């Protein structure tokens, strides 16, 4: 009898050198192309993107050419798309930001006269163009949603961290140390850039395996990322922290009581804690916590932000002990949500920010899948009507036992009268 692995847990469907997650090691490790993320320091997101896509760090000339490609692609962003997105938003004010970003990718595909061009080289070229344009698109969507004109704002081309500087320019956060926030954004980008065969990346590789184009694959990945069990979790994290702050629930005892009553007693999960792969903590979360603290200490942080940090610290300590023999560690969403909020990026942009970073890993995986393509085609274990509807157990069917006559059962015998209802059209 085949074994069903619900959710494809612990199933290996391909080999990769893009990213390695060593969840059982102590401490746990996350590596990009054999590079431990804890050793990367203040490296730029663009160098990490190059590493993920091409497998090596760029030399000086290669990096200059890569940056120039990104800048050129951003300058070529079709301005007509901005007007279309504005009309969509005006027609439906309730549309969320990530859905508007997704529509922007659809439009970029429509503007690309070579969008259906085949081959790994073409796919990679288009992927790098999306790597350049998605941060700009995210900023445009933010400015449309908040009615901040002009919608198109350039910047960051000559900065040490160009993509992070561009995002800073698009969001135009006041009363903060711009250098420090750019550094924090840059680190957050490369920490989110890649994470193995997560749901959205698997979705992307699945689509690429059909021979489809990278626009379609990234649109599919965005749909996956939007879900609250994936990238959407960070929105729920900051919502919880703000709820605790507004109710003045700051002390550990009060937070514990609230979490127990509002979540565990109701059978709910607390977003931002636990992970499908990591059981001993997420190495990205520790780095992001430091980034949040550095941002707060180096800027004119509000009283609310400082209180939120204290609440987040206390909640993290509580979750490590609230379940006997099962500590719940914070994941990447936990501290990332507070980092974005402390910088001034609204919670509804969190998923779009996640996508802006993850596109580097998506392009790398699309390239790798295209180079050694095999169509993904898993199977589902069929259960008969007897098992599903009547709770009866029958031997596994073989093709020789199946008879398609409506008056004959699948076992080749006269069908009992009480099963006749299953023949009727529904």
Annotated catalytic residues are: 275, 333
Calculate the alpha carbon distances from 381 to 4, 8, 13, 392, 397 in Å: 7, 13, 18, 17, 12
- SS3 (DSSP) at 29: strand
Residue with tokens 């997650």: 21
| CA separation for the pair 132, 143 (Å, rounded) | 18
Asked whether the bond before 27 is cis by omega within 30 degrees of 0, the reply is: yes
| CA separation for the pair 325, 168 (Å, rounded) | 42
Q: Under a CB-based contact definition with an 8 Å cutoff, are residues 224 and 246 in contact?
A: no
**Cα 400 to the chain's mean position, in Å?**
46
- Give 408's strand partners: 414
Residue with tokens 């160009």: 162
Q: Under a CB-based contact definition with an 8 Å cutoff, are residues 74 and 156 in contact?
A: no
| CA separation for the pair 378, 204 (Å, rounded) | 15
- SS3 (DSSP) at 89: helix
* DSSP of 32-84: ETTEEGGG-TT--HHHHHHHHHHSS---HHHHHHHHHHHHHHHHT--HHHHHH
| CA separation for the pair 341, 244 (Å, rounded) | 15
Helix (H) or strand (E) holding 317: helix 303-319
Calculate the alpha carbon distances from 284 to 164, 188, 355 in Å: 18, 9, 16
| CA separation for the pair 311, 300 (Å, rounded) | 19
* DSSP of 170-181: HHT--SS-HHHH
């Amino acid at each position: 009898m085949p074994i069903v692995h619900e959710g494809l847990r612990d199933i290996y469907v391909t080999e990769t050198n893009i990213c390695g997650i060593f969840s059982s090691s102590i401490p746990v490790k996350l590596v990009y192309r054999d590079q431990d993320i804890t050793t990367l320091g203040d490296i730029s997101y663009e160098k990490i993107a190059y590493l993920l896509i091409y497998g090596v760090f760029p030399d000086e000339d290669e990096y200059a050419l890569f940056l120039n490609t990104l800048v050129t692609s951003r300058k070529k962003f079709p301005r007509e798309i901005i007007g279309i997105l504005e009309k969509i938003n005006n027609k439906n004010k309730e549309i969320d930001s990530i859905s508007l970003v997704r529509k922007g990718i659809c439009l970029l595909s429509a503007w690309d006269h070579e969008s259906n061009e085949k081959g790994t080289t073409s796919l990679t070229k288009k992927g790098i163009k999306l790597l350049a344009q998605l941060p700009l698109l995210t900023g445009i969507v933010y400015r449309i949603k908040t009615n901040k004109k002009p919608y198109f704002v350039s910047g960051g081309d000559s900065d040490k961290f160009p993509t992070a500087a561009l995002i800073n320019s698009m969001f135009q956060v006041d009363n903060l140390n711009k250098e420090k926030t750019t550094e924090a954004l840059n680190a957050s980008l490369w920490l989110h850039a890649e994470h193995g065969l997560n749901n959205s990346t698997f979705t992307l590789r699945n689509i690429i395996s059909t021979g489809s184009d990278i626009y379609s694959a990234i649109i599919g990945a965005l749909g996956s990322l939007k879900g609250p069990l994936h990238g959407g979790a960070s929105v729920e994290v900051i919502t919880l922290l703000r709820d605790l702050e507004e109710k003045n629930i700051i002390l550990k005892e009060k937070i514990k009581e609230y979490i127990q009553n509002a979540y565990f007693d109701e059978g709910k999960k607390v977003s931002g804690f636990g992970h499908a792969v990591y059981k001993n903590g997420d190495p990205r979360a520790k780095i992001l916590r430091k980034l949040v603290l550095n941002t707060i200490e180096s800027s004119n942080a509000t009283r609310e932000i400082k209180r939120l940090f204290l609440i987040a610290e206390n909640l993290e300590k509580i979750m490590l002990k609230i379940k006997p023999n099962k500590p719940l560690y914070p994941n990447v969403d936990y501290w990332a949500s507070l980092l974005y909020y402390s910088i001034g990026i609204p919670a509804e942009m969190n998923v779009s920010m996640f996508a802006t970073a993850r596109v580097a890993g998506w392009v790398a995986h699309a390239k790798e899948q295209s180079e050694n393509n095999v169509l993904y085609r898993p199977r589902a274990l069929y259960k008969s009507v007897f098992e599903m509807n009547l709770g009866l157990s029958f031997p596994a069917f073989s093709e020789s036992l199946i008879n398609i006559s409506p008056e004959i059962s699948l076992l080749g015998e006269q069908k009992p009268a009480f099963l006749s209802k299953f023949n009727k059209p529904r």
